[in-house]
Amino acid sequence: MKTVKQIDLLLNNEPGTLSTVSELLGTNGINIIAFYVTTSKDEGRLHFVSNDPDKAINVLRTASYEIFVKDVIACETPNHPGGMNAVLKPLKSAGINVDYIYPCIGTGDITVLIIGVGPVQKALEIMKDNWIRVIGEELYHT
């Protein structure tokens, strides 16, 4: 299955928490290549894809962070008005709900989206049938 690993990290919602995580990962040579953050009162979650997920998992667990790992899809999307629909329309037609979507940072000339869906394998098949470029582990080296 051509997916990438997303790490979900439970955090306290207070000043400096994200900075501490960023410093821990950076000190260990781990780059965050896509992320989004959610907060609710005293709690926050950092959802991210790194250039070295296994090392990130190890570093975070060693530092006693509570983490969850899941497979998500990284795919290329056209970079023009309405371009994201090239990815969303086939999923819609197949009845696949997109739980969340966020962009990668620093991917050069291409636009890469991280997509969380329930039926990952079915979504991958739909993308393949619609000529959508899915990016697997090569994303870790962009």
Q: What is the pLDDT along the chain (142 residues), one digit of tens a residue?
A: 799 999 999 999 999 999 999 999 999 999 999 999 999 888 999 999 999 999 999 999 999 999 999 999 999 999 889 989 999 999 999 999 999 999 998 767 789 999 999 899 999 999 999 999 999 988 888 6
Going from the C-alpha of 1 to that of each of 4, 60, 73, 128, the distances in angstroms are 9, 25, 10, 12
Q: What pLDDT was estimated at residue 107? A: 67
Two tokens, residue 100: 């969340």
Name the region of 47 (left: φ>0; alpha: ψ -120 to 50; beta: rest): beta
Q: Which CATH architecture has domain 72-141?
A: 2-Layer Sandwich (3.30)
Q: Where are the domains of the chain?
A: 4-70, 72-141
**4-70 CATH pick, 3.30.2130.10, 3.20.20.140, 1.20.1250.20, 2.60.120.10:** 3.30.2130.10
Task: Decide if 37 contacts 19 (C-beta within 8 A).
Answer: no
